[in-house]
Amino acid sequence: MSQEEEQSKQQENSGHQEELVQTQGPSSGKAGPSFGIPLSVLDVSPIIQGGTVAESLRNTLDLARHAERLQYNRYWLAEHHNSPSIASSATSVVIGHVAAGTSTIRVGAGGIMLPNHAPLVIAEQFGTLDALFPGRIDLGLGRAPGTDQLTASALRGVRGSNGGNFPEQLEQLRAYMDPSSAEVAMAVRAIPGEGAQVPIWLLGSSDFSAMLAAQLGLPFAFAGHFSPTYTVPAMRLYRNNFQPGVLDKPYGMVAVNVVAADTDEEAAYLATSMQQLFLSFIRNRPGPLPPPVRDMDGIWTEQEKYALQQQLGSSIAGGPETVKAKLEAYIEATGADEIMVAAHIYDHQARLRSYEIIAGL
């Protein structure tokens, strides 16, 4: 590579890094201005009792358009498998569905479980998405299977990959998308994928990805919606160990369950769908998202109630004033640069209303 080409490449990378920081930092006019940081949406295209996958995917696009009108910052979809309550298993396909039906909101994966896939395939998929929807696609990566071990084996086949080689898979994926960063010349090219301007995030529910994101200078998103105990320690670990890389300074996003309604009582009622759903996971009897109930005491045992608290302890449910106060306290405690709101709400209209209330706080 000539000196002129090298200088041009450095300028291009510098411009991309500046653009990356801008897309991930706080911006005016977005949902959440009263909190001082952007708000975003985490969705799994929930399948409700009595509903269908087709209805779930239509509702996902409807919610994404709603979030765009409300000026949420980004809309992420999560990869899970063998779950009767989740329709976003083919995550890249659903991202394309949402991106095609919206205009400005960033759309991405929160996340792709990289051990389930060959890095080349993910580079090609997200390179394609970036070509179709330039400047709007995010790629969040996790190392968990997003399912049970039997299903993980079916997904991974003879490759037998696991979370233990996640750093190597990540390095390979980044090299496919930016061959100039590879230590050795790439024998295979990702086309589409090579040169794609897709921000890579690391996702985590413990400290592993927090440390890796810090070491690589990548943005980090924590799964506070189901791992509340480790949220603050992981965010602190990420910030304290951050080394400039893709980003000059750390940028941490935290996911949290929020159910907002016009009153505290209505929100508590709506939140029982989420409680029943997670209870079905604890009992190893997963099913579609159930309708809410007026009283959980006849459904769970004291032991199960305690176990749910360990998973859902950071969840917020309430009317506007309650949600505002609790979100402010949560942001202060976690030091989050952005909040990603998850909402397991049975009634689609109530779900739309919840995000509307949160955006207006």
pLDDT tens digit string along 75-104? 999 998 888 999 999 999 999 999 999 999
pLDDT of residue 1: 42
In a domain, 24, yes or no: no
More confident residue, 342 or 21: 342
Buried b (16+ CB within 10 A) or exposed e, 321-338: ebbbebbeebbeebebbb
Q: 209 is written with which tokens?
A: 């990805």
pLDDT of residue 257: 97
What is the tens place of the pLDDT at every residue in 42-51? 999 999 999 9
DSSP state, 47?
P
Give the integer Cα–Cα distance in Å for 56 and 159.
32
Is the confidence at residue 5, as pLDDT, over 60? Answer: no
Contacts for 29 with CB less than 8 Å, ≥ 6 apart: 71
Pairing state between β 39-43 and 74-77: parallel
Give the integer Cα–Cα distance in Å for 112 and 95.
11
In a domain, 353, yes or no: yes
Pairing state between β 200-204 and 220-222: parallel
CA atoms within 13 A on the CB side of 77: 27
Give the residue from 355, 357, 317 showing the smallest Cα distance to 40. Answer: 355
CB 263 within 8 A of CB 282: no
Give the integer Cα–Cα distance in Å for 119 and 250.
25
In a domain, 208, yes or no: yes
In a domain, 80, yes or no: yes
Domain that holds residue 33: 29-359
In a domain, 97, yes or no: yes
How many C-beta atoms surround the C-beta of residue 141 within 10 A? Answer: 27
What is the tens place of the pLDDT at every residue in 107-152? 999 989 998 889 999 999 999 999 999 999 999 999 876 666 776 6
In the chain, % of residues over pLDDT 90: 74
- Which of the residue ranges 69-73, 166-170, 173-177 would you say has the lowest mean pLDDT? 166-170
In a domain, 278, yes or no: yes
In a domain, 21, yes or no: no
Q: How many domains does the chain have?
A: 1
Is the confidence at residue 156, as pLDDT, over 80? Answer: no
CATH number at residue 204: 3.20.20.30
In a domain, 10, yes or no: no
- Which of the residue ranges 160-169, 220-229, 265-274, 292-301 would you say has the lowest mean pLDDT? 160-169
How distant is the alpha carbon of residue 302 from its chain centre? 31
Phi-psi region of 221 (alpha: psi -120 to 50; beta: other; left: phi over 0): beta
Banded model confidence at residue 186, pLDDT cuts 50, 70, 90: confident
